[in-house]
């Protein structure tokens, strides 16, 4: 029930992108949702790193036969360009079921 609501909510704001794992998994087309949270990270020596975040449902990955995302995966959006995943966080529902993933890119 919660996973259906999660999938439906994200589908409202989703974009079609290509997800790849270089050297391992070829390109797959999936729906992904840009997060409204854009961030500027503080890094050593007062450097600032700009980044984007995306949310992808486990359901979308399962349909595309793509395993859990990991660091180094590439998200290619026709308008927003190519982003490299730097961090993956699971989004959990009731009972600890994985509903999706927050993908942070830098």
Helix (H, G, I), strand (E, B) or coil at 4: helix
* 26-59 pLDDT, tens digit each: 999 999 988 865 555 555 666 656 678 999 999 9
The pLDDT tens digits of the residues spanning 52-91 come to 899 999 999 999 999 999 999 999 999 989 999 999 999 9
**Domain spans in the chain, listed from the N-terminal domain onward:** 2-105
Closest to 64 in 3D by CA, of 105, 17, 102, 96: 17
Domain 2-105: CATH class, spelled out: mainly beta
Please report the pLDDT score of residue 42 as a whole number: 53
**Structure tokens that stand for 93 in this block:** 């529902």
What per-residue confidence (pLDDT) applies to 1?
72
């Amino acid at each position: 029930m919660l996973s259906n609501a999660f999938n439906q909510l994200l589908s409202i704001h989703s974009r079609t992108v290509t997800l790849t794992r270089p050297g391992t998994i070829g390109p797959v087309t999936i729906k992904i949702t840009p997060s409204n949270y854009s961030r500027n990270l503080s890094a050593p020596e007062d450097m600032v790193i700009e980044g984007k975040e995306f949310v992808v449902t486990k359901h979308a990955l399962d349909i595309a036969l793509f395993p859990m995302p990991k660091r180094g995966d590439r998200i290619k959006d026709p308008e927003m360009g190519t982003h490299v995943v730097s961090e993956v966080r699971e989004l959990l529902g009731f009972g600890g079921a994985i509903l999706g993933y927050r993908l942070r890119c830098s």
